[in-house]
Structure 1
């Protein structure tokens, strides 16, 4: 029985985690900058690039996961904890798709195209919409808050398994 994640799965996990933290932090910083400055516009571009990259990596991660299942939980782990962990992992997967997509849709509703790395314009799926813009802004914000909270719970659970249970759950994801 496989006891650890594959190195590819670890790479996807840690790279997406790093990019999510960077995008979230940049989102907080850029929205606190008053007015429309060149720095703020640059940060918005970087934020979008991070989001698109997370989305692309999420697709690859799910494809990898389809053919490389995660290792089994330790036998000592209670069934309710396994169910909670599975539910949280499912939610995290949903959010690493939903957050970038909601940001993309918010940009479109704002009438601002997303140009990945300044080179590739993503398709404009719908026209700017003054009705959709505030809704999608709120959706993007609250999905981000849900993602931040879920990541916090995920990290707390990993630390609990490492420091309290000492059952090797965290080591499965460490290279």
Structure 2
């Protein structure tokens, strides 16, 4: 049951680096998911090939941002949880844990799919990345399916995450969202 009064300015915020990594990843993930869905419906064309490259570049970038974000999170404590029912707190921690897992698993599955299909990844057209699985059509199809299922899983978790943040903002009015908004002045940085 939500508290009768909103949490006030004593609320601790995430650090500027944590906020920047959160929003960079959010934009990259939403963009990569959107491009991924759109490009698979296109007929074979130069546009489709270009979008596949952009999608791969976004995936590698997300993988690197996820590593930075995890290192930051392990070395910097996040603000304490807000008062909420135990089930909500547990669900929030489970959702965050699964999202972190998918931040790594999804791009790695895509990279494996690309390697197994025989299509190298050249990050931003400059840095060739090594293939880490052998070229194998059957293996490529398996990684393609895994990548697709993980993408849908991450999309569902992202929607849950956004829904929960909006619930806290509009229904609970507990200022949870202000802890991660870049321009919010509420609370102190942690």
Structure 2 residue aligned with 1:133: 140
Residues 136-155 of structure 1: pairs in structure 2 closer than 5 A: 136-155=143-162
Q: TM-score scaled to structure 2, two decimals?
A: 0.88
Distance 1:99 1:127 in 2: 19
> Which is further off, 64-73 or 43-52?
64-73
1:22 counterpart (6, 31, 34):
31
C-alpha contact 2:112 2:131 (8 A) present in aligned 1: no
Distance 2:131 2:112 in 1: 9
Flag the structure with more relative contact order, 1 or 2, with Cα contacts below 8 A and sequence separation at least 6.
2
Superposition CA RMSD, Å = 1.1
Ranges in structure 2 where 5+ consecutive residues have no aligned partner: 1-9, 183-190
Structure 2 residue aligned with 1:43: 51
Is 1:113–2:115 an aligned residue pair?
no
C-alpha contact 2:99 2:154 (8 A) present in aligned 1: yes
More helix by share: 1
Ranges in structure 1 where 5+ consecutive residues have no aligned partner: none
Q: Which stretches of structure 1, 4 residues or longer, exceed 4 Å deviation after superposition?
A: none
C-alpha contact 2:121 2:129 (8 A) present in aligned 1: yes
Structure 1 residue aligned with 2:21: 12
